[in-house]
Amino acid sequence: TGMIVILRDLVIMIVRSSALSIIFSLIVIGIIASIFFKRILWGILAVIPLTSAVIINFGFMGYFGIELSHITAILSSIIIGVGVDFSIHYIAQFRRLSRTIDKNKLSRAVVEDVGYPIILDAGSNMGLGALLFSVFLPIQYIGGLMVFAMLATSIGTLTVLSALAELLKNRLVERNS
């Protein structure tokens, strides 16, 4: 009973600390993006696709009966670390193009410029899908969940972030001029 109890407690501790890590990571990314892009609103917008991808990923796990374990809990931090690139690319291009392109054409121009690179980046990260062929079930979960998460973060950036930037473009463009 001693070693089993220790391992159980260790897994519980890792899962709990992973939840705190996720929250802390999102807050830090929001702060860094706010500082870098000189606007709190950009910091908030940068974490929205990440937050939604993590939530969708946990929903996906629940739907398919994948238990939250120390291995799957750590995956969310990986998703955040890899997925933040998509938001940064989108925001940087939005800010750059907002200086030269008419506001009515801005969102389309940004998606045309960054859409392909974001999808390509997500596709290359989906290479972790090869882990689906592992004989160790938790590693298979990581492979499948990573593929799903890359779809969620890239599509989230190109749809959710793009839609929010379009809705808020009057506030965002005025500040960038």
Is residue 174 very low, low, confident or very high in pLDDT (cuts 50, 70, 90)? low
- Rounded Cα distance between 164 and 161, Å, is 5
Reference 45, options 97, 90, 110; nearest CA is 90
Question: Is the confidence at residue 158, as pLDDT, over 50?
Answer: yes
Instruction: Compute the distance between CA of residue 47 and CA of residue 88 in angstroms, rounded to an integer.
Output: 10
Residue 31 structure tokens: 């702060």
**Rg of the Cα atoms in the chain:** 18
Q: Is the pLDDT of residue 61 over 70?
A: yes
175 pLDDT higher than 70 = no
What percentage of the chain reaches a pLDDT higher than 90?
53
Would you place residue 177 in the very low, low, confident or very high pLDDT band (cuts 50, 70, 90)? very low
Per-residue confidence (pLDDT) for residue 3, from 0 to 100 = 82
**Domains detected in the chain:** 2-176 (1.20.1640.10)
Q: Write the DSSP string, 96-115.
A: HHTTTS-HHHHHHHHHHHHH
Q: Are 107 and 128 a contacting pair, CB within 8 Å?
A: no
Segment 146-160 mean pLDDT: 92
The position carrying tokens 């379009």 is: 166
- Pick from 163, 41, 174: which is nearest to 107 by CA? 163
Closest among 54, 57, 58, 37 to 46, alpha carbons compared: 37
- The rounded distance, in Å, linking the Cα atoms of 61 and 109 is 35
> Considering only CA atoms, which of 109, 89, 110, 92 is closest in space to residue 154?
89
pLDDT at 138: 83
**Helix, strand or coil for residue 105?**
helix
Rounded Cα distance between 93 and 83, Å, is 16
End-to-end distance of the chain based on CA atoms, in angstroms?
65
- At 64 the three-state DSSP class reads coil
- List, for residues 88-141, the tens digit of each pLDDT value: 999 999 999 999 999 899 999 999 999 999 999 999 989 989 999 999 988 898
- When the pLDDT of each residue in the chain is averaged and rounded to a whole number, the result is 89
Q: What is the pLDDT of residue 39?
A: 93
More confident residue, 77 or 26: 26
Residue 18 in this model has a pLDDT that exceeds 90:
no
